[in-house]
Amino acid sequence: MRIVLLAAAVFAAIYIALDLNALYALRANQNTGLYLQSLVDFVRTGSTFDQPDGRPHMLVHDQWVVYALLGPLVALWPRPETMIVAQVVALAGAALVLYWLANICGIERAAAAALSIAFLISPSVQGFAYDGFVAEDVVPIVGFSFAFAIQRRSLLWTLAAAQILLGIKEDEAWFLAWLGAVGAIWFDRRLGVAVLLLATINLGSYYAIASHFGYLPERPHYGPVDREWAGQLTFLVELLVPLAFAPLRLGWALIAGLPFIIELFFTQDRTYPLYHTGSYYTIPLVVAATVGTVYVVARRPWFARYALAGSILMALLFNNASILHIGRRPFTPDPQYAAARSWASTSLPVDIPCEDVGAWTVAAADLQARLIGCGRRGTRRGRPAWRDEPLRATAPWTLGAHKGD
């Protein structure tokens, strides 16, 4: 356990530093600013409105857990740094719960530690930590807790963990309803039926409330045609190598993963793939596959060593989502950071073009800060994600908050 604690602390320290480096280089992801602005609005006015959504975020996604957990923190520190630290700590803490889950499943300590460290090193988890804050960053720690409660056959704690998962995003209700139905048939009827009913009640209630206000949650459109199977096979290899391909040993139990695959692979209307390694859309699948690996390692402990070796190999050599990939280096802080930061402490209106999304994220605590022009051809080319170059913008927002709008 001490080794896992040390690994989690090192992971947290590295990714807090790297994410802050990206923030100061004006390379932070828009989602960090979106959630920050929505939380600041919630703390100050009771609304969850944010400018990129153009409506209260709770009518876009059922994510009350974010406001319950981070509302008090944002009230004290309304800064993007608050979101970054919370994100990384939640992901690092998931490794500790994974270790306890492995222990309760009968895995000896060394193998449990190897599996937990492999989880942290895997390119998927590094990608989650080095991307913008999203509510799904809480899924690993709560999902492993959910599996832990099920393993203990605790109805109370199973429902408690399930309810928290249901407050992370409405997608989780579909997954939990399916897992509840499968679990009721093949595992534990009482737990399975209880989870199925809880998921159904939550899903029906949220859609009824959103429809009452004239909205439907943001969602992809799905169809029966899998258009990008070649890229998806590559993604599955990138996912499974850090797990030593252990989930494939689950046999018929693989049916439990069906809705996770459908959500990622059968979208018809997105210009970007939901399934690429490090994408937050893949977090539920990664968690489910990791839990499956725990049950395999409980019977075949040597898989844990292969998982650790596979994680290190993928992180260093094969996967670009990993900041540990050979050749990666931190960004240089952007000279325009101070100008962007000055807007965050004002209530003055400012429009920041979509090409400067990192600057908007820094300024997002100002409820009048708007991100404009997304989806339209910009006047400046966007900056590649890994290329270190300063913004060198001449947009009006760079003049400083004291100049007005």
Final residue belonging to a domain, choices 261, 283, 317: 317
Q: Say if residues 48 and 57 touch (Cβ distance below 8 Å).
A: yes
**pLDDT, tens digit (0-9, with 9 covering 90-100), for 300-310:** 999 999 999 99
Q: Say if residues 78 and 33 touch (Cβ distance below 8 Å).
A: no
323 in a domain, yes or no? no
120 and 260 assigned to the same domain: yes
Half-sphere exposure of 150 (CA within 13 A, CB side): 25
375 and 241 assigned to the same domain: no
In 3D space, the residue among 38, 21, 178, 149 whose CA is nearest the CA of residue 88 turns out to be 21
Look up residue 267 and give its two tokens.
């979208």
195 and 224 assigned to the same domain: yes
Half-sphere exposure of 218 (CA within 13 A, CB side): 13
Name the more confident of 395 and 116: 116
297 and 397 assigned to the same domain: no
Instruction: For the chain, report the end-to-end CA distance as a whole number of angstroms.
Output: 53
330 in a domain, yes or no? no
Q: Are strands 369-372 and 350-353 parallel, antiparallel or unpaired?
A: parallel
Q: Cα–Cα distance between 240 and 296 in angstroms, integer? A: 13
49 in a domain, yes or no? yes
45 in a domain, yes or no? yes
Final residue belonging to a domain, choices 317, 352, 386: 317
Final residue belonging to a domain, choices 289, 317, 345: 317
What average pLDDT score do residues 368-394 get? 74
Q: Say if residues 103 and 116 touch (Cβ distance below 8 Å).
A: no
Helix, strand, coil in percent for the chain, rounding step 5: 65, 5, 30
82 in a domain, yes or no? yes
Q: Say if residues 235 and 275 touch (Cβ distance below 8 Å).
A: yes
Give the structural domain span for 356: 337-403
Q: Say if residues 210 and 216 touch (Cβ distance below 8 Å).
A: yes
Q: Cα–Cα distance between 206 and 21 in angstroms, integer? A: 38
Q: Is the pTM of this model over 0.85?
A: yes
Lowest-confidence region among 75-84, 198-207, 372-381: 372-381
365 and 301 assigned to the same domain: no
380: pLDDT strictly greater than 70: no
Whether the CA torsion 6, 96, 235, 134 is positive or negative: it is negative
Q: Cα–Cα distance between 86 and 90 in angstroms, integer? A: 6
Number of structural domains the chain divides into:
2
Residue 387: the pLDDT is: 73
385 in a domain, yes or no? yes
Q: Cα–Cα distance between 204 and 206 in angstroms, integer? A: 6
77 and 13 assigned to the same domain: yes
In 3D space, the residue among 355, 332, 391, 307 whose CA is nearest the CA of residue 122 turns out to be 307
Q: Cα–Cα distance between 34 and 49 in angstroms, integer? A: 9
Burial 256-274 (b: 16+ CB within 10 A, else e): bbebbbebbbbbeeeeebb
Q: Say if residues 280 and 130 touch (Cβ distance below 8 Å).
A: no
355 and 397 assigned to the same domain: yes
Q: State the Cα angle at 317 between 312 and 318, rounded to 5°.
A: 100
Lowest-confidence region among 286-295, 333-342, 375-384: 375-384
Indicate the pLDDT class of residue 49, thresholds 50, 70 and 90.
very high
User: How much of the chain, in percent, has pLDDT values that exceed 70?
Assistant: 93
Q: Say if residues 319 and 277 touch (Cβ distance below 8 Å).
A: yes
**pLDDT, tens digit (0-9, with 9 covering 90-100), for 339-362:** 999 999 898 999 998 888 999 999
**pLDDT, tens digit (0-9, with 9 covering 90-100), for 95-152:** 999 999 999 999 999 999 999 999 999 999 999 999 999 999 999 999 999 999 999 9
311 and 368 assigned to the same domain: no
**Cβ contacts of residue 26 below 8 Å, gap of 6+?**
334, 336, 337, 340, 356, 358, 359, 362, 391
| 3-state secondary structure at position 76 | helix
Q: Say if residues 132 and 32 touch (Cβ distance below 8 Å).
A: yes
Q: Are strands 369-372 and 49-50 parallel, antiparallel or unpaired?
A: unpaired
262 and 393 assigned to the same domain: no
324 in a domain, yes or no? no
287 and 381 assigned to the same domain: no
281 and 137 assigned to the same domain: yes
322 in a domain, yes or no? no
175 and 82 assigned to the same domain: yes
Residue 113: the pLDDT is: 97
